[in-house]
Chain A
């Protein structure tokens, strides 16, 4: 890694801004000492390559990732999640190069599962977990973005061509509210043991708020809740409706999962029901985007839908496992739905990586 010279921290910050190495906000200056201490917290050699980050095809070495973590304001406790997240998005199935370059606003949504939620700085899963005020969420998500900028080379308007972006491109990290959830840990559905920790990542739009007020006396509450979530999933403007291959994240607040629990539904039941209900009519698609729809943005659309009746329904997602369902947020009326980009060779695959909690080396003068 190369070192820059500056007379003061103030000058160093200005230099980093001038070099487009920041996200536009002030960063902690990644001095050699701070980076070395963060590398120690990873427990790995500084030159270990965690993956390659496009579109610049930069090698995500531990010291570069540690640099991003320092700049983002991470504590050493946070860095195992950052390392796991970098490993996850460098998996070929994530299509990082294409994702960073697309005109869509997609950003990696990090969902932290398992004991790391508490061990890595208390990553918030309750009220306002996707908003400001939670240091671990803010710093960990920001570290991943700074790695994507400085190792992956994503700069707006020249290599990152997102037309607007969205605020989740600054930081987009949440923990699952596992203790209060009727569902098992999301990571266990992906093959991890409950005592393991993992970060699950999907390229996601900003959250779409979904209002629902339950009624304990209404035996059809779960039905109504599933229907309204499915309607938001089938938002006719989303890529999911047009491409129908991506992922959709559904983050339910505790009151909404209570409705699901009372109805005796499992996570898999919710996924199946949402996949079944999230539909849009052929007629609507013909009206809103006739050129793309009738010429076939998907290879098989033209033959499948050219003779279809207007009232025939198209399913937004074919594969229920591509609907990530979890509990987080405070108690209340809103569930969050995050549509996705759905493109790239792997069509916005969901990726995940174990968070290793036993790798850290002792940092002189600091208790981890």
Chain B
């Protein structure tokens, strides 16, 4: 989340990928960092260690949202 905020501050389009368990923390960081609207996409939790097939499925599911946010 902080990486995304730091990149956005540089004027570079950024989208944070945040798992559902960490979604409230993402909101907290975005607000406390002064960028409550920083773009973010929700992922299932967990992602790490779930295997290549599952990760490919998650990537496939969220890619349109990422493209849409970067294009808006």
Give the interface of A toward B (CB within 8 A).
54-57, 97-98, 101, 153, 157-159, 161, 291
Q: Could you say which residues of chain B place their CB within 8 Å of the CB of A161?
A: 22, 25
Are B28 and A55 closer than 8 Å at their CB atoms? Answer: yes
- A57, A157, A291: which contacts B32 (Cβ < 8 A)? A57
Give how many B residues have a beta carbon under 8 Å from the other chain's beta carbons.
9
Closest to A160 in B: B25
Question: Within residues 7 to 58 of chain B, which ones have a CB less than 8 A from any CB in chain A?
Answer: 22, 24-25, 28-29, 32-33, 49
Q: Could you say which residues of chain B place their CB within 8 Å of the CB of A158?
A: 24-25, 28
Chain A residues touching B, majority SS: loop
Are B24 and A101 closer than 8 Å at their CB atoms? Answer: no
Are B22 and A153 closer than 8 Å at their CB atoms? Answer: no
Q: Distance in Å from the Cβ of A218 to the closest Cβ of chain B?
A: 45
Are A57 and B28 closer than 8 Å at their CB atoms? Answer: no
Are B25 and A101 closer than 8 Å at their CB atoms? Answer: yes
Closest to A345 in B: B2
Closest to B28 in A: A159
Q: Could you say which residues of chain A place their CB within 8 Å of the CB of B22?
A: 161
Kindly list 10 other residue pairs between chains A and B, CB separation below 8 angstroms, not including A97-B2, A101-B25, A153-B32.
Answer: A54-B32, A55-B29, A55-B32, A57-B32, A57-B33, A153-B28, A158-B28, A159-B24, A159-B28, A159-B29
Q: Could you say which residues of chain A place their CB within 8 Å of the CB of B49?
A: 291
Q: Could you say which residues of chain A place their CB within 8 Å of the CB of B25?
A: 101, 158-159, 161
Are B24 and A157 closer than 8 Å at their CB atoms? Answer: yes
Closest to A98 in B: B2
Interface centre among B2, B28, B49 (most CB of A within 10 A): B28
Q: Could you say which residues of chain A place their CB within 8 Å of the CB of B28?
A: 55-56, 153, 158-159
